[in-house]
Amino acid sequence: MVQDFGSLMRRRRSIRAYLDKPVPRAEIEEICRLARTAPSGANLQPGRFHVLTGTPLRNLISGIDAAIGAGVPEATEYSWFPEPMPPELRERQRAAGYALYQALGIARRDLEGRRQQFRRNYAFFGAPVGVVVTIDRRMGAGCFMDLGMCLMGFLLAAEARGLGATGIGALANYGPTVHQLLDLAAEEMVVCGIALGFPDHEAPENQVRTAREDLPAYTSFRGFPDS
């Protein structure tokens, strides 16, 4: 287990290829417990984790695949990206996508290859564990921030145990389909998915590291002696 928090943060990455190795339920339960220690306004603790493996996960994946094949339109219940996307953010988005496709040998003009790679989101990238994350529709918008802190706790707890994970925002594109397939309570909104498992460290897609802005780009300091 990584003891130094800075090392843990810096080594974490989105894992999109996994070993065919089951994850013990006890490990996942502890990850969920640690994630729930995240702070939340008024201690509302928004969000639920629906953890699937084996047949239930395969059934969910096949159900989503059937919906896509039948032409079911995307129907996300909340906005993710700004519309229109500002040019500087569009460039950042493209750079991340190109880095992944380049690692996989998918050419920029290979639209079918890119489409097939994106479809892997809906198969949880072949991970042995898939988590569907939901939130109560009655929660205020700020509760998404609280849920985000919980999700970061989940990802770091997984990393600390030698596991890999990645968030799957695309799952919300078929939120109503997932809702029906899992027979979720009426008030639950599908926010995202999480793929979880033991990383395949040799897979090219797991070598990709996206760049982060340097400190001056997103911070300001006031009142310090060297300000």
CB contact set of 100 (below 8 Å; sequence gap of 6+): 16, 117, 205, 208
**Average pLDDT in the 129-143 region?**
96
Q: What is the mean pLDDT of the chain?
A: 95
CA nearest to 35, candidates 45, 44, 43 = 45
> Confidence band (pLDDT; 50, 70, 90) for 108?
confident
* pLDDT the model gives residue 8: 93
pLDDT band at 164 (very low <50, low <70, confident <90, very high): very high
Burial class (CB within 10 angstroms; exposed 0-12, middle 13-18, buried 19+) of 168: buried
Give the pTM.
Answer: 0.95
* Residue 35 · residue 150 · CB < 8 Å: yes
Q: Which amino acid is at 55?
A: T
Q: Quick one: pLDDT band at residue 227, thresholds 50, 70, 90?
A: low
Q: What is the pLDDT of residue 200?
A: 98
Say what the pLDDT of residue 3 is.
61
Query: Kind and range of the H or E element at 34?
Result: helix 25-35
Q: How far lies 35's CA from each of 64, 151, 153, 192, in Å? A: 27, 7, 4, 15
Q: What is the mean pLDDT of residues 97-111?
A: 93
Structure tokens given for 20? 């065919």
Q: Are strands 129-136 and 188-197 parallel, antiparallel or unpaired?
A: antiparallel
CA angle 87, 90, 93 (to 5 degrees): 155
* 86 preceded by a cis bond (ω within 30 of 0): no
Which domains are present in the chain? 5-80+122-203 (3.40.109.10)
User: Is residue 1 over pLDDT 60?
Assistant: no
174-206 pLDDT, tens per residue? 999 999 999 999 999 999 999 999 999 999 999
How far is Cα 96 from Cα 166, in angstroms, rounded to an integer? 14
Which pLDDT tens digit goes with each residue over 66-98? 999 999 999 988 888 899 999 999 999 999 999
């042995």: which residue's tokens?
128
Distance (Å, whole) CA 96 – CA 154: 23
